[in-house]
Every structure is written in structure tokens, then in C-alpha cells.
Amino acid sequence: MDNGRLGWINFRLYQSISNVLVIIGLISLSLNTISVTDAGSAFDFELILFAIWLIFFLEIFFRQFAQENEVPQYLRSTAGLIDILAVVIPAVGMVIGLDHADTALLCTVWVFKLLRETATLALLKRVISNERKILTGVSTLFLIVLFLASFLAYVLNREGQSDTFGSIPAAMWWAITTLSTTGYGDAVPSSFAGRVLAGVVMTSGIAVFALWAGILASGFARELRRYEFLRNWDLVARVPLLAQLEARELAEIVRLLRSSEVTSGSIICRQGDPGDQMYFIVEGTVLVSTSEPVWLGSGDYFGELSLITGEPRTATVSASSETSLLILDVSDFRVLLANSPKIANAIESVAKQRLELLRKQSQSQY
């Protein structure tokens, strides 16, 4: 859903304010659990919680006025559901007559408002969905190990330690704390066989958790690469030199490019430094500080001369506005030239003109 503007409040600004309110609310409800028992505390955290609740309540109406046509869509979205529950759950507490302190605890549901706009949650959902088969496989393995560990712990220790290993469910608590390598130490097998089993269970636990972590980490890395690819694909279309590539070549180069945002005034490359990458300007303007300064804008490129000649950078280039760049490393630059003669010709003919201009400028200086 395009959030656009929330009435007269800019949506992004409101979102930041809302997050701050949630954090203040969660701190207040935590501190309120101290003040409940501390009669000396004069601060009224419940009043703060009520004020925040009121703002969240009004937020739903603001959204209604701001996006009349989209209200049903908003109410049906996960974000809308979270907003409504954030208001309804504490209200239910008040209506059914919970005391103020317990009603305040229900405000814990606000924690989910922090998640409603983050891309992280959507990313996590996609990663879990992509990797569900292998995650299910490893979870099954975990359950098998858990059950076998509980069973063996019960068989090996039930005689001497019937209080902690007297049944399979009781031994399961030991198995979980051992598999997760938490080891509270409240249940410790005393027999030799029991200790050998504990060693095996701990090692299996580390292996299973490492598998989970590895699957999730590689899933995240794959999703981020896919996201970067899609974003770069859109950006490349704005650089005419690259846009003339065939779809297959384009897909290859998009994989090699890195995007970067540069703030106004920052130096992108410095005269005299060795050249290790070239830059395509997606948006913004850069200043090439040659003796007669040149400004380059969207669709232009720079930093190619030192890659072609192997000489140091011919000029300092700095961003004269917020600039969005695509960066190509020297080795990938060579791949691009080798794979696409059309682009190689275009870059080389512009490079000739630039070098000629630089030569003339340096001659006129003497």
C-alpha cells in the first residue's frame, strides 16, 4: 500500500514519531511494573500509556481521512491489523475490568507496530518461505535427536535419578537444555553412560543449530543479491551506454555492478590515485576538476581513462549534488569490453576525445 501522506503529516515523519511513541510506551510499561510495588514512585506511567493509546486510536481515523478509498485495503493489511490490535487489546483490558497495572501490561502488543513497516519482516518471511523444505528437514532431524536423547537419558538414568529422569517427558527438559547447549545444571546425569550420552547430545545440538544458522544466512544472502539485482536492473536502464546491451549481456553486467549513493561535495576519485573502478551516473551531477571544469550528469560515465591506460587518475571527480552511481570494478570492466565490442568502441572513442582534451589543456598551461 502506498502510504503517501497521512493527512497533513508526512507519512515517514509520522512513522518515526510512532516508533518513538512505541519505545516510550514499552519503557513506561516496564517501569510501571516497578512502580506497582514501589509505593514511593510519584511518576504516572499509566497516564503516558493512556496518552499514547489515544494517539494510536486517533491514527486509525487519520488514515481513514487521508486514504478514504484505501481504508478497506488498509484494514485488511497486516499493518492495519497490527494497528487495530494495538488499540483493541488494551481497550478490552479496560472493558473487562482489569486493574490499571494489568491493562498497562496489555500494551506490550505495541511492540509489533515496530515491525509493521520494516522490510526486514518481509525479507524474513520470503527467506523462510524459500527455505521451508530444508528448514523442515532440519527441524525434523532436531525432533528425532531430541526424542532419542530423551529416551536414552530416561533408560540410562531412571534408576538412580528418578526425580529428574523418571519419565521421558521429564528427561526431555534435560535433552532440550543440553541440545541447545544452555545447560542450566538442574538435571545432570551421574552415570558414566549418561555423561557419554550428554557429550553426544551437546555435539549434535551444536551441529543442528549451525545447520539452521547456515540455511538462514545463505537464504538471506540469496534474497539480498536478488533484491540488488532487481534494483540495479532498473538503474542500468537509465544509462544509455549500458541500455544498448542485449538482455543476456545486460543480465551479466547487472550482476557485476554495485550501486552507491554519494552525498553532495564528496570526492569520488582523486587525481593521481591508481584507478580500480569506473562509475556510471544514474542520477545527479559530478564535477570533473580538470583545468577547465566539466560537469557530467545522469547517463554519463567517468573513471574509465585510468582503467584503459593503466595511468593514475587524470582528474579529481566530486559529487556536486546527491548522486546515485553504479560502480564497475576493473576486472569486470575488462570483461565488459571483451564481451561487448559495441560498448568497447563507444567507451574508447569517448576516452580518445577526453585524453585529447586533457593533452590540449596541459599544453596550454605551459
Q: Which residues bind ligand CMP (CB under 6 A)?
A: 269, 275, 288, 290, 294, 302-306, 313-315, 317, 354, 357-358
Find the shortest distance in angstroms from Cβ 64 to ligand CMP: 53
Distance CA 138, CA 142 (A): 6
Closer to ligand CMP by CB, 290 or 339: give it.
290
Closer to ligand CMP by CB, 136 or 345: give it.
345
Closer to ligand CMP by CB, 265 or 312: give it.
312
Closer to ligand CMP by CB, 87 or 315: give it.
315
Find the shortest distance in angstroms from Cβ 304 to ligand CMP: 5
Closer to ligand CMP by CB, 145 or 288: give it.
288
Distance CA 30, CA 92 (A): 20
Closer to ligand CMP by CB, 79 or 336: give it.
336
Residue 215 CB coordination number (10 Å): 18
Find the shortest distance in angstroms from Cβ 252 to ligand CMP: 23
Contact 197, 149 (CB under 8 A): yes
Find the shortest distance in angstroms from Cβ 365 to ligand CMP: 14
Find the shortest distance in angstroms from Cβ 357 to ligand CMP: 4
Contact 278, 333 (CB under 8 A): yes
Distance CA 233, CA 243 (A): 10
Size of the chain, expressed as the number of residues it contains = 366
Distance CA 257, CA 280 (A): 10
Find the shortest distance in angstroms from Cβ 244 to ligand CMP: 19
Closer to ligand CMP by CB, 139 or 362: give it.
362
Residue type, 88: V
Closer to ligand CMP by CB, 4 or 297: give it.
297
Angle between the N-to-C axes of helices 132-157 and 192-236, in degrees from 0 to 180, rounded to the nearest 10:
170
Residue 304 CB coordination number (10 Å): 21
Find the shortest distance in angstroms from Cβ 309 to ligand CMP: 8
Contact 178, 196 (CB under 8 A): no
Contact 36, 101 (CB under 8 A): yes
Find the shortest distance in angstroms from Cβ 315 to ligand CMP: 4
Contact 22, 110 (CB under 8 A): yes
236-259: b (≥16 Cβ within 10 Å) or e: bebbebbeebeeebbebbbebbeb
Q: What nine digits make up the cell of 351?
A: 576516452
